């Protein structure tokens, strides 16, 4: 598990191993638009302000992934303990 922090509110949301980031946020009333939920379409792209992403999408290039400044919360996760999201 890891945490995501919502930059605008400071709220910290735990993402359990069997949950996606989108599901964890939704359970806290923060809706992220999704479509494919498989890392293909890019609909859910969210900016990342701090932390290291565990990218599991097929959308970004390797260069984009290496910047760790955006990710697809429908399927991607975190390598760091916390990801700060621009939400």
DSSP characters for 15-75?
Answer: E-TTS-HHHHHHHTT-----SSSSSSS-TT-EEEEES-EE---SSS-HHHHHHTSEE-TTT
Q: Could you say whether residue 46 binds ligand FES (CB under 6 A)? A: no
Quick check: 35 binds ligand FES (CB under 6 A)? yes
The footprint of ligand FES on this chain (CB under 6 A) covers a number of residues equal to: 14
| Residue 72 touching ligand FES (CB under 6 A) | yes
Q: How many CB atoms lie within 10 A of CB 84?
A: 18
Whole-number Å distance between alpha carbons of 51 and 86: 12
Asked whether position 41 contacts ligand FES by CB under 6 A, the answer is yes
Q: Report the nearest approach of ligand FES to the CB of residue 76 (Å).
A: 8
**Binds ligand FES by CB under 6 A, chosen from 2, 59, 60, 71:** 59
Q: Which residues bind ligand FES (CB under 6 A)?
A: 34-37, 39-44, 57, 59, 72, 74
């Amino acid at each position: 598990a890891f945490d995501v922090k919502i930059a605008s509110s400071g709220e910290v949301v735990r993402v359990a191993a069997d949950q996606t980031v989108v599901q964890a946020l939704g359970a806290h009333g923060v809706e992220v638009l999704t479509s494919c939920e498989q890392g293909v379409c890019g609909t859910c792209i969210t900016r990342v302000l701090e932390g290291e992403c565990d990218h599991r999408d097929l959308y970004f290039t390797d260069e984009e992934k290496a910047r760790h400044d955006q990710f697809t919360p429908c399927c991607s996760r975190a390598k760091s303990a916390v990801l700060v999201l621009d939400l």
